[in-house]
Amino acid sequence: QKEVEQDPGPLSVPEGAIVSLNCTYSNSAFQYFMWYRQYSRKGPELLMYTYSSGNKEDGRFTAQVDKSSKYISLFIRDSQPSDSATYLCAMGRDGANSKLTFGKGITLSVRP
């Protein structure tokens, strides 16, 4: 079993829909959680960063972390065709072993 599991895709929604993307993890040592967006043939772009349980909102994006359930989510409101991309969850902990552990990614397509 991988340390980070991400819901499989692909996912296709109509423009304006609310999108929910989810990841679960097994390592309770993870201290911080991030969501990256990756367009085709581009590098991952940092979207959201959180380090505590609860919700964090930034425009149309909300990141949710539940450390007790080892579950994180990204919600996208009023989805736009420009949101079409691959979304990666990532998590890590501080120290010499400071690598990020990523989910597999889910490809989202928002239909006009």
Partner 1 sequence: GAGVSQSPRYKVAKRGQDVALRCDPISGHVSLFWYQQALGQGPEFLTYFQNEAQLDKSGLPSDRFFAERPEGSVSTLKIQRTQQEDSAVYLCASSSLPRTGRKAFFGQGTRLTVV
Per CB under 8 A, residues contacting partner 1 are 4, 6, 32, 34, 36, 41-46, 49, 51, 88, 90, 92, 94-105
Shortest reach from residue 37's CB to partner 1, in Å: 11
Residue 10: is the preceding peptide bond cis (ω within 30°)? yes
Displacement of CA 46 from its chain's centroid (Å): 10
Closer Cβ to partner 1, 35 or 79, answer by number: 35
CB of 19 to partner 1, least distance (A): 19
Give just the sign of the alpha carbon dihedral 39, 44, 49, 52: positive
CB of 91 to partner 1, least distance (A): 9
Label residues 7-17 b or e (16+ Cβ within 10 Å = b): eeeebebeeeb
Nearer to partner 1, 76 or 89 (CB): 89
